[in-house]
Structures are given as structure tokens and as C-alpha cells.
């Protein structure tokens, strides 16, 4: 029997088969969850619907997370289809291309607001809307990145947004703890996703990561999917307000040097 057998899991933010959300979707399916998928905008519909079919997902809904009205409608549809929800995955982030290529101090007021609204406030908005149908013992999780606590060149306003997202995770965990609902974040190492493509110098950063991380390997969407299964399952029933690093140990490094493999005698 799978670890998520009988659990209803909603995944927000699937874009394509390179998405971290897709790694999570596949892992949840493998472990027996009943799946629901939400995507942003008509443009993504033709990519997302075939993926939903692949995992036998019957509930696929568009949701613009900048609209409280749309979020409320999505929660209503989920209630009609599933009844109650056990797992809510927030895999949503956005910043304009300008914000990820110019210096951070040139971030526009509008660009800052948009990044915060879509990448951070949407977690609060979804939590608030879905709270009435979340089962006790439910698990909410979001996706973050190490650029929240240390400088990742060109990550700019997204780093600031991820810092706010991690802080929100802790405050939500505090608020929802009495209801036995857990809130955690997964901080994944760099992965070649649609979102990563917009970050200047990502290719060099991706290579550097594998050279200096203790495990000397990049992480995959499957690695993140497996960690998400743990946070969604009863195995993590007393873990909340945490940031779980899935990054080959990169975040533990202080001085970063490319180490040559030691030769055996």
C-alpha cells in the first residue's frame, strides 16, 4: 500500500513535464494519492491536460492566484469533487524578466508587488480559501530556494520573495498547529525548470552547484517528489514550520571550493 493511499492531494503550479510540480505529481500518484491539478492561464492548458491524463487525474482546473474570486471558485469546485483535502502543494513563483536580469536595486515597485503577490501572498490566499475543507492532519507545503537566505546572483527579488515565503511558512504553521494542520517548505537545489530559465547565469550556477555540493550531484524533480511524499504522509506527522533542504548538502557549505577527487593510493 502506498504512503498516500486514500489521501486527496491538490497540486498548484504545474507548468510542464520539467516542473518540480510534475515530480511531486508523479511521486504522489505512485504512492496512491487521489490527485487534483491546478495551472495558471490558458497558455499552459495544452501542456497540463495531457500530463493530468498520464497520471489519471480527473480534476484539472485553471486558477489565477492573483484573483481571490478565482481561488474561492477553485476551492468550491475542489469541495464538490473531493469533499475534503489532505495535501495542498504550492509550487508557484513568478518575477518579471527585468527583475531577474537587472541589479536588485533597480527592481520596479510594480515588479516587486507582482513577485510578492504571486510567489508569497498566494500561499496565504490558498490556505485561507481551502482551510474549511482541510482534514485534521492535513499537510500544506511550498517550494523555496537557498537564494532566500544567501545571495544567489541574479535571483534578486525572487530571493526576497522566497525569504518572505519561508517566514510565512512558519507563521502559518503556528496559526494552523491547533487544527493539527502542518505547513512546511522544501528548498530544492537548482533544477532546469521553466522558472529557472528566466534567471540570468543559471547554466553556470547549475554546473557550479554540482562541483561544490557534498554529494557532487544536481538534484532532480524526482528527488523533490520523494521528499514531498514524506511531508505529505503521516511519517512526518510532527514536523511543521520547517524548511527541508533537498540540495545535495549545498546549503551546509561555507567556503565553496571545487574539490578534486582524492586519488586512491
Residues with catalytic roles: 145, 155
C-alpha cell at 19: 516542473
Q: Cell triple for residue 132?
A: 474549511
CB 196 within 8 A of CB 153: no
Tell me the pairing of strands 8-12 and 34-39: parallel
The grid coordinates of residue 172 equal 502559518
C-alpha cell at 228: 514531498
Cα–chain center distance at 54:
21
Q: How far is CA 40 from the centre of its chain?
A: 14
Torsion of Cα atoms, 221 then 223 then 227 then 232, to 10°? 40
- The three-point CA angle 82-86-91 to 5° equals 100
Contact 183, 134 (CB under 8 A): no
CA distance 167 to 172: 9
Joined together, the cell numbers standing for residue 146 give 537557498
Residue 39 CA to residue 4 CA, distance in Å, equals 22
Amino acid at each position: 500500500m502506498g504512503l498516500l493511499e486514500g489521501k486527496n492531494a491538490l497540486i498548484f503550479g504545474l507548468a510542464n513535464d520539467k516542473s518540480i510540480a510534475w515530480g511531486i505529481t508523479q511521486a504522489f500518484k505512485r504512492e496512491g494519492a487521489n490527485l487534483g491539478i491546478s495551472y495558471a492561464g490558458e497558455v499552459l492548458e495544452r501542456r497540463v491536460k495531457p500530463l493530468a491524463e498520464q497520471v489519471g487525474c480527473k480534476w484539472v482546473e485553471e486558477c489565477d492566484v492573483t484573483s481571490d474570486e478565482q481561488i474561492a471558485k477553485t476551492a468550491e469546485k475542489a469541495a464538490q469533487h473531493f469533499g475534503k483535502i489532505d495535501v495542498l502543494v504550492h509550487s508557484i513563483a513568478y518575477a518579471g524578466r527585468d527583475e531577474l536580469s537587472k541589479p536588485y536595486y533597480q527592481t520596479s515597485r510594480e515588479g516587486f508587488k507582482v513577485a510578492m503577490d504571486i510567489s508569497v501572498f498566494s500561499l496565504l490566499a490558498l490556505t485561507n480559501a481551502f482551510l474549511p475543507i482541510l482534514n485534521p492532519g492535513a499537510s500544506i507545503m511550498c517550494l523555496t530556494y537557498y537564494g532566500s537566505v544567501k545571495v544567489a546572483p541574479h535571483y534578486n527579488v525572487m530571493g526576497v520573495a522566497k525569504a518572505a515565503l519561508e517566514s510565512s511558512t512558519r507563521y502559518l504553521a503556528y496559526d494552523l498547529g491547533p487544527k493539527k494542520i502542518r505547513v512546511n517548505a522544501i528548498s530544492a537545489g537548482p533544477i532546469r525548470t521553466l522558472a529557472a530559465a528566466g534567471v540570468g547565469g543559471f547554466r553556470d550556477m547549475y554546473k557550479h552547484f554540482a562541483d561544490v555540493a557534498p554529494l557532487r550531484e544536481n538534484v532532480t524533480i524526482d528527488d523533490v517528489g520523494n521528499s514531498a511524499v514524506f511531508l505529505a504522509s503521516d511519517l512526518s506527522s510532527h514536523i511543521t514550520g520547517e524548511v527541508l533542504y533537498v540540495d545535495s548538502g549545498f546549503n551546509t557549505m561555507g567556503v565553496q571550493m571545487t574539490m578534486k577527487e582524492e586519488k586512491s593510493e
